Amino acid sequence: MASKAEKLRLNASNAKDVASKYDSTVRLLNSGNEIVQVKKTAFSEPIPTENKSHNLQDIPDLHKLQSDSLSIPKMAPYFAKVPYEKIDANPFNARQVYHPEKVHQKALEIQAEGQLQPGIATIRNGRYVLAAGHYRWKGIGVAKYPTMDLMIHENLTDQDLYRISFKENSEREDQSAIDNALSWKSLLDQNLFQNQTEIAESTGISLPNVNKTLKILELPQAVVDFCREKGVQYFPLGSMYQLVLISKLTDTQTILEIAEKIYKGELSNTAIEEMRKTLEHPKQRKKKENPRQYEIVSDNQKCGYIKDFGSGKIMLQVNIADPVKRAEILNDLKSKFEVH
């Protein structure tokens, strides 16, 4: 028959096994439109495996464990169907420009086929904050679906929200220069990134291109608004940066006219660069000189003039009918200027 000490060790071992199984279990209970999550629990102190005391109080009471005083580890992502009204947009979203026609198209796709891919979200203050999947979320709102499929990643940081958003947008389609400029400016203003170097390290984009991208916001607001309205995909970084340089040399209306040509595909980046160089180094127009003019009179008739331009140039124009006299004047001039 087992001794009291052996029973204590057996009870402790069994209790630890039960706790371990409970610790690895995550249950999602769908109660109507509410998502109920049962979190993992952990022990605040180790369960004894050796009988250091014959008192029963040495074995923790599972029912008295207080989970609110425990350090809960980060969970693996899990799937949830979440009420639409409980979802908020990503405050650190890499995409800043959404086109209504794309939202409408996404709504039609969802109505026809359902939501084929879940979004990504985290939980903050009882609400679901999207990290990625905003076109789907907006489309679901237009389609008036009551729920959205989400993969929940717990404990995402602000930088996580931006990085996931940036990565997914870049993989689906090229992230636009204007989207990047607007989102990076916001992240810097909120001190989520301390400087442009941190943005470069986080996104894998070179520091010079990060710098050029942020300079887009130096354009007149009317130009930025025009590019957003027409479609940011038509304005790559190279073209936008050339517009920034041109904006230092000319007025807003001229920049808008150039932007219109870029949108219509009438200007390559090389052509825009040439326009910028022309504005930087315009051809110098020769200054018109106003010379002093002297009339030449012979035999009481005007026969020519001498023009003194003041810059060193002298122009002589004379009409002499008498060949003898013409030869004399010509010889005098040759002698004067030592022309042979």
Q: Does 57 score more than 60 pLDDT?
A: no
In this structure, which amino acid lies at residue 224? V
Indicate whether 190 and 91 sit together in one domain: no
Q: Are 272 and 243 in contact (CB under 8 A)?
A: yes
d(Cα 206, Cα 210) in Å, to the nearest integer? 6
Indicate whether 78 and 91 sit together in one domain: yes
d(Cα 191, Cα 187) in Å, to the nearest integer? 6
In this structure, which amino acid lies at residue 188? L
Chosen domain end from 24, 51, 69: 69
Percent of the residues in the chain that have a pLDDT greater than 70, as a whole number: 76
What are all long-range contacts of 22-27, with beta carbons under 8 Å and residues at least 24 apart?
26/75, 26/78
Provide the pLDDT for residue 282.
74
Indicate whether 169 and 184 sit together in one domain: no
Tens digit of each residue's pLDDT (9 = 90 or more) over 261-275: 999 999 888 899 898
The mean pLDDT of the chain is 78
**CATH number of the domain bearing residue 218:** 1.10.10
Domain containing residue 312: 292-336
Indicate whether 266 and 324 sit together in one domain: no
Indicate whether 179 and 277 sit together in one domain: yes
CB neighbours (10 Å) of residue 36?
10
Reported as a pLDDT band with limits 50, 70 and 90, residue 83 is: very high
Reported as a pLDDT band with limits 50, 70 and 90, residue 87 is: very high
d(Cα 183, Cα 187) in Å, to the nearest integer? 6
- Joined tokens for residue 142: 């237009």
Chosen domain end from 69, 95, 121: 69
Indicate whether 215 and 248 sit together in one domain: yes
Chosen domain end from 107, 138, 173: 173
Q: How far is CA 57 from the centre of its chain?
A: 60
Name the domain count of the chain: 4
How far, CA to CA in Å, does 219 sit from each of 27, 185, 243, 262?
Answer: 52, 14, 8, 15
Q: Are 223 and 178 in contact (CB under 8 A)?
A: no
Q: Are 87 and 128 in contact (CB under 8 A)?
A: yes
Tens digit of each residue's pLDDT (9 = 90 or more) over 277-319: 888 887 666 667 788 888 888 777 888 888 888 778 888 888 8
Q: Are 235 and 259 in contact (CB under 8 A)?
A: yes
- Joined tokens for residue 149: 């499929």
Paired residues of 28 in beta bridges: 37
Indicate whether 187 and 117 sit together in one domain: no
Indicate whether 275 and 179 sit together in one domain: yes
Indicate whether 204 and 257 sit together in one domain: yes
